[in-house]
Amino acid sequence: MFFGEQTYCLTDINNCYPSCEAVFDPSLKGWPVVVLSNNDGCVIARNQEAKDLGIKMGDVPHLIPDLIKQCKIFSSNYTLYGDMSDRVMNTIREFSPEVEVYSVDECFIRVNRQDTFMLYFLGSSIKERIKAVTGLPVSVGIGPTKTLAKMANKYAKKVKPIGVYVINSEDARIEALKGCEIGDVWGIGQQHAKRLIANGITTAYEFSVLNLEWVRKNMTVVGVRMHQELNGHPCLEMKETVATKQNICTSRSFGKLLETLPDMSEAVANYVATCARKLRKDGTCANMLQVFLHTNPYRTDLSQYANSKTIALPEATNSTIELAHYALALLKALYRPGYKYMKAGVIVSGLIPEHSRQEVLFPKMNHEKHSKAMKALDLLNSHFGAGSVRMASMAGHRKYALRAGMKSGHYTTKWSDIIKVSV
């Protein structure tokens, strides 16, 4: 086995969403906890106690009443989860300048190769530091490749209560791979897993000792990379910069079916404002705008309709005012009375850096004026809370708002929700 000069460390928040809820509600300890999707539709996260009950990802609460009544249930609170994730990632940056945030609950760092004791010390230090700063439990896996670090992390969850596993020897590698089912190997999808199981390959270790030519023939270059990584040969580089976005989409299923154009317009105006805010945050402008809507395809008792329209904007922009003007015009062209609409969305694309925007000879908008207005808008909303200042078209009865009857507070991002302690 080959061990290079670099070592990869993957930190993973255990049961991320339920763990975030438990940080601010200690009474949840020992209880099965589930978090539901938008509109409280289905289960998207569970803690170990809920998994032990038999609750699966995607389960619909009203179809499993006997199980769900034993749980503490929360509507998804992405503002809280995102902020807690940022705190974890910033804490991890204390341990290495080379950081790749892989997902909301996973982060790679790269460190120089050290002896096994020092690597265990590193993993334990990360785990303890994150617990002290955020209250969240994490597992840490360390290995000579990113894939082996992922395998070590999975195995670390089984090594309780340590939660740290280091692959720094052949014996450690084999032990971790034998303890990992083939379907849990990073990069092996459902179809490849079925094929491998049909060929008697049930663990990561059995895959790692397969003939390389068989892997190349049946799983192409992606499979070869995984095979090499599992055998200690790095093929995947760190991605320390976020890839440039190709488009931004804001889309939601409504809290209840909508019928009128004013209600639909309010929803679309708010969605386009979210897209515009993200554009400004990224320092980009959009050249294309699309609006789409559709009814509920599962309601066969209702008339069905779905449509979308896309336009090329006269000028690249990130102005909420400008984008909303065109988005509402598109919606008006799309809307058909007599239908009950379930969902609408806005997509901005053709993104370019704001400083690279090409000026036109006879502009239809005053870019300087819009830029100042948007800076003031963002500053006020940052200071007083999102939505404090908005366009008139965004204000209304919010009939489109998601159902979230069991949502926890924004404990870390909203002054009114900060936990108060009486002494």
d(CA 280, CA 205): 47
Res 51: pLDDT? 94
| Mean pLDDT, residues 31-39 | 92
User: Average per-residue pLDDT in the chain?
Assistant: 89
| Mean pLDDT, residues 276-304 | 93
Q: Regarding beta strands 138-143 and 164-166, do their DSSP bridges make them parallel or antiparallel, or are they unpaired? A: parallel
Token duo for residue 18 = 């339920």
From 151-155, 159-163, 191-195, 398-402, the region with the lowest mean pLDDT: 398-402
363 confidence band (pLDDT: 50, 70, 90): low
Q: What is the pLDDT of residues 318-351, one digit of tens each?
A: 999 999 999 999 999 999 999 999 999 999 999 9
d(CA 90, CA 122): 16
Q: What is the pLDDT of residues 123-173, one digit of tens each?
A: 999 999 999 999 999 999 999 999 999 999 999 988 767 899 999 899 999
Predicted TM-score (pTM) of this structure: 0.80
Does 3.30.160.60 match the CATH number of domain 6-12+99-230? no
Q: What is the pLDDT of residues 202-244, one digit of tens each?
A: 999 999 999 999 999 888 888 899 999 999 999 988 886 666 6
**Top-tier CATH class for 247-394:** alpha beta
Token duo for residue 30 = 């020992």
360 confidence band (pLDDT: 50, 70, 90): low
Q: How many alpha carbons lie under 13 Å from residue 221 in its C-beta half-sphere?
A: 2
Per domain, the residue ranges of the chain are 6-12+99-230, 16-80, 247-394
Q: What is the 3-state secondary structure (H, E, C) of the chain?
A: CCCCCEEEEEEEECCHHHHHHHHCCHHHCCCCEEEECHHHCCEEEECHHHHHHCCCCCCCHHHCHHHHCCCEEEECCHHHHHHHHHHHHHHHCCCCCCEEEEECCEEEEEEECCCHHHHHHHHHHHHHHHHHHHCCCEEEEEECCHHHHHHHHHHHCCCCCCCEEECCCHHHHHHHHHCCEHHHCCCCCHHHHHHHHHCCCCEHHHHHCCCHHHHHHHHHHHHHHHHHHHCCCCCCCCCCCCCCCCEEEEEEEEEEEECCHHHHHHHHHHHHHHHHHHHHHHCEEEEEEEEEEEECCCCCCCCCCEEEEEEEEEEEECCHHHHHHHHHHHHHHHCCCCCCEEEEEEEEECCEEHHHCCCCCCCCCCHHHHHHHHHHHHHHHHHHCCCCCCCHHHCCCCCCCCCCCCECCCCCCCHHHCCCCCC
Other C-beta atoms lying within 10 Å of the C-beta of residue 66: 7
Token duo for residue 9 = 């460390």
d(CA 383, CA 298): 42
Domain covering 16-80: architecture: 3-Layer(aba) Sandwich (3.40)
Q: What is the pLDDT of residues 229-282, one digit of tens each?
A: 999 999 988 886 666 678 999 998 888 899 999 999 999 999 999 999 999 999
Across 20-24, 398-402, 416-420, which has the greatest mean pLDDT? 20-24
Contact 8, 149 (CB under 8 A): yes
4 confidence band (pLDDT: 50, 70, 90): low
**Could you give phi then psi for residue 257, rounded to 5 degrees?**
-65, 135
Token duo for residue 290 = 């699309």
Nearest CA to 291 among 272, 275, 308, 269? 308
Q: What is the pLDDT of residues 95-116, one digit of tens each?
A: 998 999 999 999 999 988 788 8
Token duo for residue 209 = 């000792």
From 115-129, 175-189, 371-385, the region with the lowest mean pLDDT: 371-385
Question: Starting at the edge strand that comes first in sequence, how are the strands of the sheet with 43-46 ordered?
Answer: 43-46, 33-36, 72-75
| Mean pLDDT, residues 385-402 | 76
| 239 Cα distance to chain centroid | 17
Percent of the chain with pLDDT over 90: 62
The gap between the terminal CA atoms of the chain, to the nearest Å, is 58
